[in-house]
Structure 1
Amino acid sequence: MSTEASDPRIHLRVANKKAYVWDVEDIATIRSKHRLCGVFTGTLPHLSQQNLFLGVPMVLLPEEVVLLVENGFAVLIDDPKAHIQPSVAELQRWNSKEKELAQFQLSQLTTALGTSPAVMSEEAIKKRKERELKRQAAAAKAAEAQGALAEADSSIFTPSENAAPPPATETQYTVVIPASSTSFEWYNDSTCLHSSIQSAKEAGIWEYPSNLHERAKCGVFRGLWEQGMYMGGGIKFGGDYLVYPGDPLRYHAHFSATVLESPTFSLTPMEIVAHGRLGTVTKKSHLLCGWDDGKKEVSYLSIEWAGFG
């Protein structure tokens, strides 16, 4: 049995050292209330072959996970350990409930349409054939029109006012079928819940941050977040993060940020020139963020081209 009902904190399911968010309400809370975006990695129904528009689950950056857990907004769940091996009786009981639910949905569909599934299937086939014939007729007319246009002396073609309008598309009706969302009895996350990063590290399910560079990234990420910024991955723009003044769905990034392990971290002149030129070309200022691991503070230095032309 899940403990989400009694625990208001967001549950981050950890598998293979990555934190996933499966609940859409938690995803909305993370973005609107905590100003963290994450990355969607799941496929959408009927669009499983594309990779442009993705859905749940959402994967969080390690820095986002650390910030949520340290601020008490979320807890880490050892997802593989939360799954309990069900007994044969439990599987049989679950299977019978699923069959009852399927029968109930079928009866609701039959009642809503006022016909049997077999008759509906025949009607659907008949309508599909009619639509196919209409499409073939429309395609034949279009081919004839193109041929007449090619043979005409004038390059301007004005359709006749008496031309028949294109066939109207059939409006598809919608039938709402109630379906309950059930939770498995053999999933129990109360015994594998971790409220701190240290506890998750000791359990072996999480290891970030593990060195100075990762601590610097967490510190810089928190520093920018506390100033009201939104962050996203910045690898495409030569930095560690893209820094937005508001939600990335509404604003362009103002900065690309690079994390330095120390405020006195050395950079070559070529690196400084590269950051400046790349930031100018992409209409952004480049932030050099120096992390002081002793004082737990961040210093910022922006680079941009100016005074040309």
Structure 2
Amino acid sequence: MTSTKARIHLRVANKKAYVWDVEDIATIRTKHRLCGVFTGTLPHLSQQNLFLGVPMVLLPEEVVLLVENEIAVLVDDPKAHIQPSVVELQRWNLKEKELAQLQLAQLATALENSPAVMSEEAVRKRKERELKKQAAAAAAKAAEAGLLAEADNSIFSPPENATAPPAVDTQYTVVIPASSTSFEWYNDSACLYTTVQSAKDAGIWEYPSNLHERAKCGVFRGLWEQGMYMGGGIKFGGDYLVYPGDPLRYHAHFSATVLESPTLSLPPMEIVAHGRLGTVTKKSHLLCGWDDEKKEVSYLSIEWAGFG
């Protein structure tokens, strides 16, 4: 049995499980074939609707799979944040001020002992100004010598021997404060839950709570155990999109719909709609029937076929 310290910590808030550690995110995706959804912003990236950052939110089925396989534990994140006392806050504020003053002193020392730091744009503009000054001086001398006609072009072109002072980069260190999990008032040891049932009893988790949610967990596990990757399939008329490999490298081969029973009756028009939608999106549609008594999944693939 894996110890709780070695397991991935899924921090639950408002019945959703978040992963904040980048190494944990990489492990979940590469080793356990679960993708999740990124919801954090990337301030320096213009297209926020295409690329997002941490934290990663996991599907409820992914959470149940990780916890049942003893890969992860659930953490009641709000309870892990202990309310600090006034003395602790004052001590923390004092440390932050001392750290900021230390960084400013280090930066000031580095700037005093080295030439001024200039950006590439500033260096370019400075070089252009120096060249223009040298060109204007050369034109004035030429005019005094009676060679103004020959010096007209030199106003717009720098002399061959014109050079700009080189820019020297100053190296200094900036200390970035650690994450909130290292604060003295953050302690998750008393609010870890190693099973889904214990998290339900504590009131921080409730999935699965009915037959349909149990069916989704069972179907998700069944496809995952066959080596598939899953993502949300609502845009393609199903519960999941099923990939043969990492979604960054492969297109989905199937869109899957979860049925609460393998003998559940479906209207003929729904079957036709699944078949046609799958064909339009270049996928086959899977009808996945969950047997809650046997804990087994049966699969039926639908494809639209032409006649005549």
Same topology, TM > 0.5: yes
Amino acid at match of 2:301: S
CA distance in 1, matches of 2:93, 2:278: 58
Residue of structure 2 in register with 1:146 after alignment: none
CA distance in 2, matches of 1:238, 1:225: 20
CA distance in 2, matches of 1:240, 1:73: 24
1:83-102 matched pairs, under 5 angstroms:
83-102=81-100
1:283-302 matched pairs, under 5 angstroms:
283-302=282-301
Unaligned runs of 5+ in 1: 135-162, 165-169
Residue of structure 2 in register with 1:225 after alignment: 224
Q: Which runs of 4+ in 1 moved over 4 A?
A: 111-117, 170-176
Q: Is the 8 A contact 1:231 1:244 kept in 2?
A: yes
Residue of structure 1 in register with 2:176 after alignment: 179
Residue of structure 2 in register with 1:271 after alignment: 270
Residue 301 of structure 1 aligns to a residue whose secondary structure is strand
Residue of structure 2 in register with 1:239 after alignment: 238
Residue of structure 2 in register with 1:156 after alignment: none
Unaligned runs of 5+ in 2: 130-156, 159-165
Match of 2:39 among 17, 38, 41: 41
Residue 280 of structure 1 aligns to a residue whose secondary structure is helix
Residue of structure 2 in register with 1:305 after alignment: 304
CA distance in 1, matches of 2:262, 2:295: 11
CA distance in 1, matches of 2:285, 2:111: 61
Number of corresponding residues: 269
Residue of structure 1 in register with 2:215 after alignment: 216
1:93-172 matched pairs, under 5 angstroms:
93-114=91-112, 127=122, 130=125
Residue 29 of structure 2 aligns to a residue whose secondary structure is helix
Amino acid at match of 1:204: G
1:22-74 per-residue CA deviation (whole Å, 9 max, x = no partner) reads: 11111111101111000000111334883321111110000000000011001
| Superposition deviation, residue 89 in structure 1 | 1.5
CA distance in 2, matches of 1:51, 1:116: 43
Q: Is the 8 A contact 1:105 1:179 kept in 2?
A: no
| Superposition deviation, residue 116 in structure 1 | 9.1
The question of 1:55 aligning with 2:50 is answered no
| Superposition deviation, residue 7 in structure 1 | 0.3
1:191-214 per-residue CA deviation (whole Å, 9 max, x = no partner) reads: 111111110111111100000000
Cα–Cα, structure 1 residues 271 and 215, in superposed 2: closer, same or farther, change >3 Å? same
| Superposition deviation, residue 300 in structure 1 | 0.2
| Superposition deviation, residue 296 in structure 1 | 0.3
The question of 1:18 aligning with 2:13 is answered no
* Structure with larger Rg: 2
CA distance in 2, matches of 1:98, 1:49: 34
Taking CA–CA contacts closer than 8 Å with sequence separation of 6 or more, which of the two structures ends up with the larger relative contact order?
A: 1
Residue 243 of structure 1 aligns to a residue whose secondary structure is strand
Counting aligned pairs with the same residue, the percent is: 81
Q: Is the 8 A contact 2:4 2:73 kept in 1?
A: no
